[in-house]
Amino acid sequence: MNPAIAAIQMNSSDRLPDNLETAGQLLREAARQGAWLAVLPENFAFMGARERDKLAHAEAPGEGPIHGFLSAISRELGLWVVAGTIPQAVPQDPNRVLAASPVYAANGSLSTRYDKIHLFDVEVPGGESYRESNSIRPGEPDTVVAQTAGGGVGLSVCYDLRFPELYRRLAADGAEILCVPSAFTAKTGEAHWETLLRARAIENQCVVVASNQWGEHAGGRRTWGHSMIVGPWGEVLACQAEGAGVVLARPDRAAQAKLRQDFPVLSHRRLA
C-alpha cells in the first residue's frame, strides 16, 4: 500500500489556543489513518477580524507557542508537518510580519521554511477588498523544496497558486509534491480553486496537496474549503467540500515516476 498524505481543513478563529487544539486533533487523526505528511491551512493558528490582529501573535523562528506546538506534535506523531502559515516577526519592520510556512520533520525538528512571496492586494468582484501588504512583508523571491524520504516537497501559499512560474521552478528543483496551504476566499475559490490546482498538477506532473480554510471567520470573512489532493495526471484523488476534517490520499510515487518518463513534458521545455 502506498503511504498516505493529508490535507487538513479548518475553520480557524481568533482564539489561538482553540485553533491549536483543533489542529492537534486533526493531525492525530491524519497520523491514525497512516499519513506520513500533513499540510495545515494558511493562518491555521489564528484568523483575526482584522489583518493586523496577527501582529500580536508574531513569533521568532523556532520560538513561541505555535512553533512549540508544531515541534511537539510532529515528534509525538512521527509526522512531517507543513504548517500552513504563521506570523513571523520581522525585527526591522515591526508593523509587518512574514507569512512563514515552516516544515517540521517527523523527529520534531524545524526542517526548512518558506515565506509567502505573492501578497493578496486585490479587489474581489462583489466588493471584497484585501491588502495583505499592509501587515505582511513579502518573502525573498526564491523557491523552497523540503527534502524528505517521500520525495521533494515544494512549498507555496494561497495566492502563489496564480503564478505558474513558481511551480515550474519547484518542479525543476526536484519537487514531486506541491503544497498549497490556503485561506482562499469563497468568491475566488468557487471560480478558480479546483481549476488552478489541477493545472499546477498537470503541467508539473506533481501531486498537489491543497489545504484550505472553510466557512465564516471573525470579521465576516468567508473561505471556500474544498481542500483536496490532486494527482499528477490532474485527477482529484480526495476532496472535502465543507467542515473541518482530514483529506487523505495515497498517491502512487512509482506511477508518477513512470508518467514523467513516458510523457516527458518537463524535459520538452523550450523557454526558460
- In angstroms, what CA-CA distances link 212 with 86, 92, 100, 240? 14, 31, 16, 10
Contact 14/47 with Cβ under 8 angstroms? yes
Q: Which of 54, 132, 158, 239 is catalytic?
A: 158
Q: Which three cell numbers stand for residue 114?
A: 518558506
Contact predicate 71/108, CB 8 Å: yes
Whole-angstrom Cα distance, residue 9 to residue 43?
Answer: 11
Q: Compute the C-alpha angle 161/164/170, nearest 5°.
A: 95
179 is catalytic: no
To the nearest 10 degrees (0 to 180), the angle between helices 64-77 and 16-32 is 20
Set 42, 51, 59, 132: catalytic member: 42
d(CA 225, CA 228): 9
DSSP 178-236: EE--B--BHHHIIIIIHHHHHHHHHHHT-EEEE-BBEEE-GGG-EEE--EEEE-TTS-E
73/61 Cα distance (integer angstroms): 17
What φ, ψ does residue 239 adopt, rounded to 5°? -155, 145
- How far apart CA 33 and CA 247 sit, in angstroms, is 10
- Considering 116, 176, 179, 239, which one is annotated as catalytic? 116
Residues involved in catalysis: 42, 116, 158
